[in-house]
């Protein structure tokens, strides 16, 4: 089967040398077949050869119902070409199949490298099969010797196996070289079934020859048989294609992309540098919500087409999520050249997609991870690219590399995330609690659970170095569950103080419909009332899939769990959130509190926030209170609760109990140190 859908003209020297070698082999084998053959056309077989040549051209040039982005196509041409070989006219078979391929590739404006390879690969495969018959002394038509002998039967079998094996091997090698990946991953991408289809069609050739020589009236029956085999093969290939590809865009799906990436990593030489990109669309949700999912689907299809055209020929592209795409660049240049290429790919996302005559535009945030530098496995590279992509989205920079994520986190990194996954079992994680104090009477009635990690070699790892990374992977789910389980149990130690517990929740938790049941299970196991628990969410956590997030939050509130907005004022949707969501507390971000004594502007902003909250019946918490001067100003502005080092640093539960015994209730600010 000639692969006429995968461009081999990537400009890689090794591919061009390989194509030249295949062409040389094809010329040599074809010449040898000609020298060993008796006649170009076997005597009295001209009419049958002409019929099969016509059928070959019709089969090759007909509708391409099995054309795939990454794995070739199946046509009936092989059955008719091998039939001509079995009629004793191998040179005609090679010339007809190669000539038809050459004509169609030139007509479709294929690259020179691709035209040469397809023509040479077909010629070499057919010539190899014909040589087997000639070397076994089986010349002429299979019907000339009377009843089919065992020698002829074995010869036909050997020739057919060699034809489709050579075709499979030559094509798999060029694809592996082109994509810089392993043979195993190429075979797994629907290609094995494609080759099996060719084998089934080749097996029909002896039947075709015997039938047509018996009577030309068998010709319609031959056509029906070929169509039936072709259709059954088509269905098998379509099922394999659906299993490996995204049904909407027809790009690879996440599982197949992971398989190809793994194959690339296993076969990559040390002198080849690659990169993995994760791309997430910006503004796609608005298109889906306002114009409908059908329009959104058309945009995704258009984006996939633009990305495929703009990416290098050797790139492997997949749709790995709702509006997320992944790209493997198997051979890249310098970091600056790669960044320029990635910017070019990102620019394709900004080009309008015309849907029903209307241009629609979306942007993209792109994360980039370099092979070996940022990870050695598929999982590590995808996690690194995911973290970089979220940084690009959060900072609105468009493109970020994982190198920037590492430099931003002094102790962070993918290796640290790997160790974090084992930290729970190793008893390295602890939960500390920071008390919150009321302005009006100095009493403490709530505490925030905060995760702490004591690394065996690094010592204390700052939360900002690992939590921000974990939030962009599924690792945040077991971490949140650990905090919930531990803190609900610990909260029973302060029952006598009637302390409420607050726990931070990530965007991934809010997108998990099972999260409410896991929260209630933790409360039930700890025998803690839901009214004692408060979940803290950020504005950005609600921005991704807000409908699902609101469902989870509503389920929590119905169970009696309180909800607060953390970091209020730093997001992009503060007022729209308050319109959609009923909350119990607004936690004013510390950026508005620090330096408030010297900034009348900040005082006005905080006063406006407090006034808004009071009008809605919502309690306000000022975070980052570290001085008595800030305390006095916030109290005067009407803020309800303070949190910060002026009150207390986060404490282990035994220390918090001791702190509450000594300091609770506080009668005045003078008792706070």
What Å distances lie between residue 199 and 88, 134, 193, 205, 579, CA to CA?
Answer: 20, 21, 10, 10, 64
Q: Between helices 112-135 and 13-36, what is the axis angle to 10°? A: 30
- How far from the centroid of its chain's Cα atoms is residue 150's Cα? 53
75-89, 315-329, 525-539: which has the minimum mean pLDDT?
75-89
Query: Given a cut of 70, is residue 70 above it in pLDDT?
Result: no
Q: Confidence band (pLDDT; 50, 70, 90) for 395?
A: confident
In the CATH hierarchy, which fold is given to the domain comprising 254-408? Alpha-Beta Plaits (3.30.70)
Q: Is the pLDDT of residue 408 over 60?
A: no
Alpha-carbon distance of 248 to 323, in angstroms, equals 12
Q: Is the pLDDT of residue 666 over 70?
A: no
Rounded mean pLDDT of 268-292?
81
| The pLDDT of residue 574 | 56
Residue (of 321, 243, 224, 245) closest to 278 by Cα position: 321
State whether residue 432 is helix, strand or coil: strand
In the chain the first and final C-alpha atoms are separated, in Å, by 80
Look up residue 168 and give its two tokens: 């499979």
Q: Which carries the bigger pLDDT value, residue 85 or residue 548?
A: 85
Q: Predicted confidence band at 92 (pLDDT cuts at 50, 70, 90)? A: very high
Q: Which helix (H) or strand (E) holds 93?
A: helix 90-107
C-alpha torsion angle, residues 89, 93, 96, 102 (rounded to 10) = -140
Can you spell out the DSSP letters for 352-383? Answer: PEEETTEEE--EEEEEEEETTTS-SSHHHHHH
Q: What is the DSSP letter of 494?
A: G
pLDDT band, residue 141 (cuts 50/70/90): confident
Residue-range domain boundaries for the chain: 13-244, 254-408, 415-665
Rounded Cα gap, residues 30 and 90, in angstroms: 9
Q: Residue 253: exposed, middle, or buried by beta-carbon count in 10 A (0-12, 13-18, 19+)?
A: middle
Highest mean pLDDT among 243-257, 347-361, 383-397, 607-621: 607-621
DSSP state of 436: E
- Residue 173 above 50 pLDDT? yes
Interatomic CA distance for residues 127 and 303, integer angstroms: 43
Q: How does pLDDT run across 31-55, given as a tens digit for each residue?
A: 999 888 766 776 678 888 888 888 8
User: Do the domains at 254-408 and 415-665 have one common CATH topology?
Assistant: no
The CA distance from 289 to 148, in Å, is 68
CA distances from 523 to 487, 534, 601, 642 (A): 10, 12, 42, 26
Specify whether the CB–CB gap between 184 and 139 falls below 8 A: no
Helices 192-203 and 150-179 meet at what angle, rounded to 10? Answer: 160
What average pLDDT does the segment 528-544 reach? 83
Give the pLDDT confidence score for residue 394 in this predicted structure: 73
| Confidence class for position 669, pLDDT limits 50, 70, 90 | very low
- Residue that wins the pLDDT comparison between 63 and 473: 473
pLDDT for the residue 165: 81
3-state secondary structure of 111: coil
DSSP 616-668: TT-EEEEE---SHHHHHHHHHHT--EEESTTT---B-HHHHHHHHHHHSS--S
Mean pLDDT, the chain, whole residue set = 81
User: What pLDDT does residue 224 have?
Assistant: 73
Please determine, for residue 581, whether its predicted confidence score (pLDDT) is greater than 80: no
- The pLDDT tens digits for 492-521 are 999 988 899 999 998 888 888 788 999 999
Here the tokens at position 439 are 């302005």
* pLDDT at residue 20 in the model: 92
Q: What is the mean pLDDT of residues 143-160?
A: 79
- If you ran DSSP here, which 8-state letter would residue 136 be given? T
Q: Find the mean pLDDT for residues 561-588.
A: 77
pLDDT above 70: residue 458: no
Q: How many CB atoms lie within 10 A of CB 141?
A: 20
- pLDDT for the residue 180: 66
Q: What is the pLDDT of residues 417-449, one digit of tens each?
A: 667 777 877 888 999 999 999 998 888 989 999
Mean pLDDT over residues 102-127, rounded?
89
Choose the CATH number for 415-665 among 3.20.20.70, 3.20.20.450, 3.30.450.20, 3.30.420.40. Answer: 3.20.20.450
**Would you place residue 2 in the very low, low, confident or very high pLDDT band (cuts 50, 70, 90)?**
very low
* Over residues 387-414, mean pLDDT: 71
């Amino acid at each position: 089967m000639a692969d006429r859908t995968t461009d081999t003209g990537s400009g890689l020297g090794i591919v061009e040398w390989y194509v030249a070698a295949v062409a040389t082999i094809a010329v040599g084998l074809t010449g040898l077949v000609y020298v060993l053959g008796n006649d170009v056309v076997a005597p009295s077989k001209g009419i049958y050869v002409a019929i099969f040549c016509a059928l070959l051209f019709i089969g090759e040039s007909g509708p391409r119902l099995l054309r795939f982005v990454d794995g070739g196509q199946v046509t009936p041409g092989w059955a008719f070409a091998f039939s001509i070989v079995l009629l004793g006219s191998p040179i005609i078979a090679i010339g007809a199949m190669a000539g038809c391929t050459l004509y169609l590739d030139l007509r479709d404006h294929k690259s020179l490298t691709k035209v040469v390879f397809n023509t040479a690969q077909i010629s070499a495969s057919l010539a190899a099969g014909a040589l087997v018959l000639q070397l076994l002394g089986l010349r002429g038509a299979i019907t000339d010797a009377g009843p089919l002998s065992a020698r002829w039967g074995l010869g036909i079998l050997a020739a057919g196996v060699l034809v489709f094996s050579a075709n499979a091997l030559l094509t798999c090698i060029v694809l592996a070289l082109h994509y810089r990946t392993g043979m195993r991953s190429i075979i797994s991408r629907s290609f094995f079934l494609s080759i099996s289809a060719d084998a089934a069609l080749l097996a029909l050739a002896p039947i075709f020859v015997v039938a047509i020589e018996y009577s030309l009236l068998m010709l319609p029956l031959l056509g029906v048989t070929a169509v039936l085999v072709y259709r059954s093969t088509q269905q098998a290939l379509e099922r394999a294609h659906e299993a490996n590809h995204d049904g909407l865009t027809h790009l690879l799906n996440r599982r197949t992309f992971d398989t190809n990436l793994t194959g690339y990593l296993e076969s990559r030489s040390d002198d080849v540098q690659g990169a993995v990109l994760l791309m997430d669309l910006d503004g796609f949700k608005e298109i889906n919500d306002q114009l409908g999912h059908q329009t959104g689907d058309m945009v995704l299809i258009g984006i996939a087409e633009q990305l495929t055209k703009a990416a290098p020929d050797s790139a492997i592209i997949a749709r790995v999520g709702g509006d997320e795409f992944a790209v493997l660049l198997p051979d890249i240049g310098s970091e600056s050249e790669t960044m320029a290429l990635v910017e070019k790919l990102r620019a394709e996302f900004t080009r309008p997609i015309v849907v029903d005559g209307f241009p629609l535009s979306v942007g993209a945030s792109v994360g980039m991870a370099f092979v070996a530098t940022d990870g050695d496995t598929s999982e590590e590279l995808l996690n690194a690219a995911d973290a970089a992509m979220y940084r690009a989205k959060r900072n609105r920079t468009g493109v970020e590399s994982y190198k920037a994520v590492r430099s931003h986190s002094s102790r962070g990194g993918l290796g640290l995330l790997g160790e974090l996954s084992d930290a729970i079992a190793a008893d390295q994680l602890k939960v500390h609690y920071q008390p919150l104090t009321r302005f009006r009477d100095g009493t403490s009635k709530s505490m925030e659970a905060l995760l702490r990690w004591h690394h065996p070699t690094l010592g204390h790892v700052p939360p900002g170095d690992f939590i921000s990374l974990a939030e962009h992977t599924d690792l945040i789910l077991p971490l949140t569950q650990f905090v919930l389980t531990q803190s609900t149990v610990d909260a029973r130690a302060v029952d006598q103080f009637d302390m409420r517990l607050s726990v931070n929740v990530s965007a991934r938790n809010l997108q998990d419909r099972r999260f409410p049941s896991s929260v209630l299970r933790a409360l039930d196991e700890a025998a803690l009332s839901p009214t004692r628990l408060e979940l803290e969410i950020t504005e950005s956590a609600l921005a991704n899939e807000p409908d699902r997030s609101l469902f989870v939050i509503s389920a929590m509130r119905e169970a009696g769990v309180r909800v607060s907005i953390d970091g209020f004022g730093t997001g992009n949707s503060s007022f729209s959130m308050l319109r959609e969501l009923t909350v119990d507390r607004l936690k004013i971000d510390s950026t508005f509190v620090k330096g408030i004594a010297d900034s009348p502007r900040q005082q006005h902003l905080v006063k406006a926030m407090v006034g808004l909250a009071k009008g809605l019946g919502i309690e306000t918490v000022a975070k980052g209170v570290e001085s008595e001067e800030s305390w006095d100003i916030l109290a005067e502005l009407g803020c309800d609760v303070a949190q910060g080092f002026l009150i207390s640093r986060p404490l282990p539960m035994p220390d918090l109990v001791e702190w509450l015994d000594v300091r609770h209730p506080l009668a005045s600010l003078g008792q706070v140190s």
